Structure formats: C-alpha cells, structure tokens
Structure 1
Amino acid sequence: MKQIRWWLMALLLVVGLAGCGTQRTTNKQQTARQTTSTKKASPYVDRQLPTFYVHGFQGSAKSTNTLIAHAEQTAHAHKVLVATVSTSGQVTLTGHWNGRVRNPIIQVVFKNNLAQYDQQSAWLAKVITTVQQQHAFKKYNIVAHSAGCVASVNMLMTQQPTSFPKINKLVTIAGPFDGVVGEDDVANQNSFLASGQPKYLHAAYELLAAKRTNFPKNVQLLNIVGTLNDGSRSDSLVTNVSARSIKYLLRDRRVDYTEKDFYGAHAQHSQLHENAKVALAVDRYLWHR
C-alpha cells in the first residue's frame, strides 16, 4: 500500500508541475499579446504621397538638406529622388523610389538658380510630370523656400494638363510674395489696407494677382514667416507684409490657411530652412496624424 500511495503522490506531482508549466506559458502568451496590442502607433502617417522640396534664388540642394534630414528622422519620411533641372530645362532623376516607401521625398534642384519665376514654375511642373510618368500618383505636397514659394504658387495658378496631379498640402517658408528688401521693397514701408491688400504692390504680387482665380480650391497651406528682433519687421530679405500677402492673394479660394511665426536670429531668411523648430512644424503639418 505504501508503494501504491508513493506512486500516486509522484504522479500527482508530475501532473501538477506540468500544469504550472502550461499556466506559465499561457501567461507569457497573454502578456505578449497585451504588449503587442498596447504598443503605440507612430504619430506620423505612412503614405506613398510624394512631397517636393523646392529651393529659392541662389539656392541649391543645401537649401533643403536640413529640412529633408529632419523629416527623415522625425516623420520617417525618405528622400527617394533628386530631380535636377539643367540650364536648358532637362530633368534628370537620380536615386531609387520603391513604390512602398513611406512618405517619399523628391528634392528639386535648379542648375540655373537665378531664373525668373515663370521659368522656374515651368521647370517645376516638368519635374512633377517626369516623376509622375515613372511613379503614378494623383496628389502631392510641396515645401518651398523663398523664391521657390512664388514659383510654386505661380505653377499652381498656371493651367496644366488634366492628367496633372492635384496639390494636397503646400508649405511656404519666407515667401517673397510682394517684394524683396533691397530690390523692390523697403523695410517698414508697406502695410495692409483695411481690405487686407498690401498698400504697395510689387512685381511678384502683380504676377500672381493676374492669375489668382486659377489657384485650385480647398488647398491646405502652411505659411511660415520669419521676423528678426531688429525692428525691421522682416527676416532681413522678406518683410512680414510680403510674406503674409499670400493670404489676401488666395482669398475666395477656400484655402485652409495656417500661419506660423518665428522670431530671432534663427528666423533670418536663410536660417529658417536650418531651424529645427521650423522643420518640426513642417513635419507635423505634412505628416502628423
């Protein structure tokens, strides 16, 4: 009898240990599932909609390198192509774009970085068409600095083929929409009338005003304005009035307009595209959920 009782006790012990092992395994599986289910989703979207970065007068790839690097680090975007436009207007694409890349970026570089607005607008449209022929897309974003802002808006106000993709979001940084200090504008000279129109109208403004009704409706626009704390109410080259005049230009176009102002030494015209706070504002506007 003692042998039988010993055998039964041993059997119960083995069964109990096996049950404990099973319970521990089950608990681990439940914990793993809970960890997976509670894992936070990225605050930034995962889309294949391309974003074109456009520099301004006398600019180059260096003008948008910092903004793009920040987007890659923060918003998990990826620079997939560099679109270089020769002085004769030929577009060359370098890089590789896998169709499933998250938030793809195309960096636009004009070899003739002193070309007039109309010329750069035509080149930008050609860049977008060239990329679209290789990678079909229906919508796109633009991030532009300085004269690139005027060229981009002018392109959007210019009639394109029906197959041309639609603008989704536009970011303008230090856009000289109504003149440049030292060329055709003077610090603290211009102001807004009660209607919202600038008192003095310069060449860029008149170029855009002539075709403003062609600007597509329902575009989302982030306008970034820089102000040095030196009393000039400008970023050294573009006055606040010049940069903000885009709002009145696009009146009645149902534009979802957002304006962000930056101040101090890092809000100087060329420092704006090197400013980490500006880059974060751009990333959040374009890709934050």
Structure 2
Amino acid sequence: MRKISLLKWLCLGLLVVVGLSGCAKTTSSSKTTPASQSSKKRQSPYVTSQRPTFYVHGFQGSAKSTNTLIAHAEKTAHAHKVLVATVSTSGNVTLSGQWKKGTRNPIIQVVFKNNLAQYDQQSTWLAAVITAVKAQQSFKTYNIVAHSAGCVASVNMLMTTQAKGFPKIHKLVTIAGPFDGVVGEDDVANQNSFLSSGQPKYAHAAYELLVAKRTNFPKGVHLLNIVGNLDNGSNEDGFVTNVSARSIKYLLRGRQVHYTEKDFYGKKAQHSQLHENPKVALAVDRYLWHR
C-alpha cells in the first residue's frame, strides 16, 4: 500500500512540474510578441531631407501670403521654417532665424520690402537671397514655391545665368502664375486661347520677357503648376486667366520638364485664396516631400 501511495505522489508531482513548465513557456511567448511588434516603428509618409525650400510671395504680397502654406507644411510634412530672408528696397538681404544642421525639410520664407518691383528686379533679389542662404548653410539643390508674380520672378531667375557654384533647382511649384498677362492690365477673360501647337494665341509682356531666354531654363526640373478657376464661366481666378497660367507648359517645351498640373475650382480657387486653401497646401506638401 505504501508503495502504491508513493507511486501516486510521484506521478502527481511529475504532472505539476510539466504543467508549470508549459505555463512558463506560454507566458514567456506572450510577453515577447507585443515587444517585437512595438519595435517596428511606422514609417512617415513624408521624407526627411535637408534640401531647402524657398517660399516666394507675389505682387503686393508679404509674409502673410505664404504663412498659411508654410504652417501647413510644418504640420503635415514635418517641415520647419528656419529662416526669413528679407530684401530691403535697396536689395540688401537680411536673414533672421536659425538653420540648425540636420533640420528636417527646412523652409526659407522670402519677403520683398518693395513688393511692387518688376519681375526682373525680383529675380535678381531672389538670386541674392539664395546666395546669402548658401553662404550660411551650404546646399547643392533647392526647391521653390511661388505665388502669382513670384512665379514669373522665379522662372525668370532660373532662365538667368548665375555665378559659378550657384545651387541647382530640384522642384518648382507655381501657384496662379501670370506667365502671359494679368486680367485688367494686358489680358481679358476668355480672350486668349491655345493654338493647335499649344502656343498661346496672344503673347503679352511677361511672356515675351521669358520667351527671349527660355532655352536657358535648366533641364530636368520637376514642375507643379497650380491653376485657379472661379468656375463661373470666366476661366480665370479673378486676376490670372487659365491660359496665362498654363502657358508655362509651352514656354518650357524641349527642356525635359517633368510637368504636373493641378486645377482648383470655386471661391477658394480665387487668386489670393489659393495660398489659403488647405487642399492647395496639401498638394504642395505631397509634391515636395511625399514618398
């Protein structure tokens, strides 16, 4: 009887040990699974780049003209406004802020004190801004986001020969660019049109300025052209006709430009509302920094 009893206790003990061992393995495995999952961080849909992007306002514009676009880029694309480049009426460039090395998607806001200057003058000032920023923080390539007359000034600058070592443009975003006239000045709604070749029927002063040196535009540039349409039959944004804004495509023919066009309609597509439109801001952010 004692032998049977002892045998029963030995068997019971063995079962307990095996059971505890199984529990230990189960517990251990359940702890490692969440840990391994948490170690895999979700990748951001926006890139991390040290290439600077210059935001340029238009005729009669100011910092307010690009504040909303920049704020959206900071919130959505993890960009950071690092500098404000202010150009005096005499053309002197003053940089305020701090661009720390390694800052993700840095932004430089350009402000012209003389916001009524002609395109060629603003082109010269924009080149001076880029040169001044490069002297502070070296870079080889850059982006530009421009609105209205800032678009013409930017394109004109890119068609102008710069000093040796001047950085190269990577991506250019033009918003409501009056490349071939302004309504009320030298253009009329629904007057101009495109010929079968893609050339605008009428060439106004701004267009002729750019045509003269179009072959100097660098090859291989990525261009996002944003066009506003009030959707009321006028085919313009209140200041710039759709033909004027789209004429940049024919102007840059043969320059191997990677051209993308986005059209926006309604009240929020009005000329000055385009840079306040969150859908426009998102389109800009995705074009510049989305993976």
What TM-score bracket applies, with the shorter chain setting the length? over 0.9
1:36 paired to 2:39: yes
* Structure 1 residue 229: Cα displacement: 1.8
Equivalent AA in structure 2 for residue 106 of structure 1: I
CA distance in 2 between counterparts of 1:140 and 1:251 reads 22
Superposition RMSD on alpha carbons, in Å?
A: 2.0
> Does structure 1 residue 150 correspond to structure 2 residue 158?
no
Give unpaired runs (5+ residues) of structure 1: none
Pair member with larger Rg: 2
Cα deviation 1:23-45 (Å, max 9, x = unaligned):
534532332112322x4311111
Q: Which amino acid aligns with 2:214?
A: R
Matches within 5 A, 1:1-289: 20=23, 24-37=27-40, 39-289=41-291
- The alpha-carbon distance between structure 1 residues 14 and 108, as it changes in their structure 2 partners (threshold 3 A), is farther
> Kindly tell me: are residues 247 and 26 of structure 1, through their superposed partners in 2, closer, same or farther at Cα, counting changes over 3 Å?
same
Q: How many residues align structurally? A: 288
CA distance in 2, matches of 1:21, 1:101: 47
Counterpart code for 1:44: Y
Distance 1:48 1:8 in 2: 69
Amino acid across the alignment from 1:34: Q
Change (3 A) 1:20 1:194: same
Higher alpha-carbon deviation: 28-37 or 179-188: 28-37
Task: Please state whether the residue corresponding to 2:224 is helix, strand or coil.
Answer: strand
Deviation of 1:231 (Å): 1.5
CA distance in structure 2 between the aligned counterparts of 1:144 and 1:10, rounded to whole angstroms: 80
In the aligned structure 1, how far is the partner of 2:218 from the partner of 2:133? Answer: 21
Distance change (3 Å), C-alpha of 1:8 and 1:136: farther
Q: Deviations over 1:72-106 (max 9, x none)?
A: 11111111111111111111111111111111111
Q: Give 1:195 deviation, angstroms.
A: 1.4
Instruction: Give the CA deviation at 1:62.
Output: 0.3
Look up the equivalent residue of 1:120 and give its one-letter code.
Q
Residues in 1 aligned to 2:121 and 2:22: alpha-carbon distance in whole angstroms:
77
* Displacement of 1:20: 4.2
In the alignment, the residues of structure 2 paired with residue 18 and residue 125 of structure 1 have an alpha-carbon distance, to the nearest angstrom, of: 73
Q: Which amino acid aligns with 2:123?
A: S
Q: Give distance in 2, aligned partners of 1:21 and 1:98.
A: 51
Using the alignment, how far apart are the partners of 1:20 and 1:132 within structure 2?
A: 64
The separation in 1 between residues aligned to 2:109 and 2:12, in whole angstroms, is: 75
Deviation at 1:19, TM superposition (A): 7.3
Residues 37-80 of structure 1: CA distance to partner in whole angstroms, max 9, x if unpaired? 2x431111111111000000000000000001111111111111
Q: Distance in 1 between matches of 2:16 and 2:284?
A: 65
1:204: Cα distance to partner? 0.4
- The farther-off stretch of 28-37 and 191-200 is 28-37
The CA deviation at 1:11 is 10
Which letter maps to 1:33?
S
Q: C-alpha separation between the residues in 1 aligned to 2:219 and 2:252?
A: 9
What is the rounded CA distance, in whole Å, between the counterparts of 1:15 and 1:90 in structure 2? 83
